[in-house]
Structure 1
């Protein structure tokens, strides 16, 4: 995402789409030629896979994951406009903020899984939810500070927002791992 912002700003939005198409083509080639062949009959049938949807615990995990990911993707839709309006940040600064958010999410995924393994998924989800609330409170505070000082509060809030986004996935993964 951050690289796409920079490419789009420098070369236009079409260049970003061409780059994404090129990466998708490379991924497809990697899958086609890099995946080991699998013997038939090893995978679960469609019926066996769909049978998991009857389990309330699995559906709760899937719903939590879907809502977390959907909520996180709202960041990409609104963050640029929000930061430009509140702090006057430009595309290069936005790319750095999105890069930081991505790093925080990757860190949160790793740490959230470890926390869930050590202290349990419930505790990890509660901590992640609390950090998300704190991030939103900081975002609300940052808006009141004016453009010159806003990023001093907004940037830590955005990084804090990124961590639980990954942490919730780690906890959901630990919940799911226990039953499969």
Structure 2
């Protein structure tokens, strides 16, 4: 990835002399576990629904509820924890993830599952709101792009392998066994945080006024809305991908795991390509993710019965899914560089809102009509995102 991939989120505070790479790797593992924990229900949706006596649409709300609490946490955590040492805030967030996994694995009913996912949402939103600022204090300025690449590498690995492994292992040890398998890894990560993270005293509160100021800027507000619809479209499709592949493509567990692996591995290509594709002018690329992914989702409705066609479409979809993060992060870094931390918090909130939007809309359409209707809803959200983004000029800061 190039340096342009990452926003300059510095707040003027001094960084740690020398690079604390052990702490960076601990953060990367935490990212991987967060992504795996948050989206594991996607690959286990059908057996989880059966095990808890709920519909697939209801169980899909396990993702939406984590998104709801992640939105709140992303906007509030730096204010509420303003005077607390950031090391112990991150340790607490990881402990919440551990508790959430235990609750999900042992959940006797749907209500306990929702409570566990709410705890995970707090962890997700709080961690991502603090992650970039903490990373800036772990390494010198010249090492920041490399450190961020390692952190996002944890995300890419989880996105590539969590879903297919979850689907495959779920057939062998059951969906509860999959979540129990994550518990010792997160417990080890918690201990690693305590050992590797240096003391990180608070250096000021998050300014809510800065976030409100950004929302008053028309170009940023339009971009945030377009990003929300882009991710909303993606999660409407992705959350309910397993029911589609089972019902329309006719995939058994082995084929399902292979297709999810194709989708995930294509994400590495998308990350690599987008780091080179994003140049000085990112505006023309803003509509591209929704256009490609929305078109691919619509194509699945038309030709999803063909295994070969489905695999090709999922590969393109997976590549653009990771490229979307790079494209929109580059947009943010170049259009709100005077208030980067506030912009970062709002972007996290927008993405998590889109998870909530996508899971809710998709679940309602699935239960009320069909999984094809869910995918058509995803394509419709993508069309809205493309319409708002346009050629990107109205989403960029006036010269």
* Length-normalised TM-score, structure 2: 0.39
Q: Please report how far the alpha carbon of residue 153 of structure 1 lies from its aligned counterpart in structure 2 after TM superposition.
A: 0.7
Residues 20/74 of structure 1: CA separation in 2 closer, same or farther (3 Å cut): farther
Is 43-52 or 96-105 further displaced after alignment? Answer: 43-52
Give the Å deviation of 1:111: 2.4
Q: Which one has the bigger helix percentage?
A: 1
**Deviations, residues 60-114 of structure 1 (Å, cap 9, x unaligned):** 4444444333333334432111112222211122122112212223432342343
* Superposed counterparts of 1:34-73, under 5 Å: 34-41=196-203, 45-47=206-208, 50-51=211-212, 52-73=214-235
Question: 1:2: how far off?
Answer: 1.5
Deviations 1:7-38 (A, max 9, x none): 11110111111123333333333333322333
Q: In 1, distance between residues paired with 2:186 and 2:230?
A: 25
User: In the alignment, does 2:288 pair up with 1:130?
Assistant: no
Give, in whole Å, the separation in 2 of the partners of 1:72 and 1:35.
34
1:173 Cα deviation after fit: 0.7
C-alpha separation between the residues in 2 aligned to 1:96 and 1:114?
28
C-alpha distance in structure 2 between counterparts of 1:70 and 1:29, whole Å: 35
1:116 aligns with 2:278: yes
2:247 paired residue among 85, 96, 102: 85
Q: Deviations over 1:116-173 (max 9, x none)?
A: 225x322222333332244134313313xx5xxx011111111111222222221111
Distance of 1:58 and 1:24 partners within structure 2? 36
C-alpha RMSD of matched pairs (Å): 2.7
| Structure 1 CA distance for aligned equivalents of residues 194 and 200 of structure 2 | 13
Tell me how far apart the structure 1 counterparts of residues 330 and 298 of structure 2 sit (CA, whole Å). 28
- Counterpart of 2:381 in structure 1 is none
Cα distance between partner residues in 1 of 2:175 and 2:332: 39
TM-score by length of structure 1 reads 0.77
SS of corresponding position for 1:37:
coil
Map 1:140-179 to 2 at 5 A.
140-143=301-304, 146=305, 150-178=306-334, 179=336
Distance 2:210 2:192 in 1: 26
What is the number of residues matched between the two proteins?
Answer: 173
Deviates more, 1:46-55 or 1:90-99: 46-55
Which stretches in structure 2 are left out of the alignment for 5+ residues? 1-162, 338-399
For 2:312 and 2:221, how far apart are their aligned partners in 1? 33
On the 8 A contact 1:128/1:167 being kept in 2, the answer is yes
| C-alpha contact 2:230 2:289 (8 A) present in aligned 1 | no
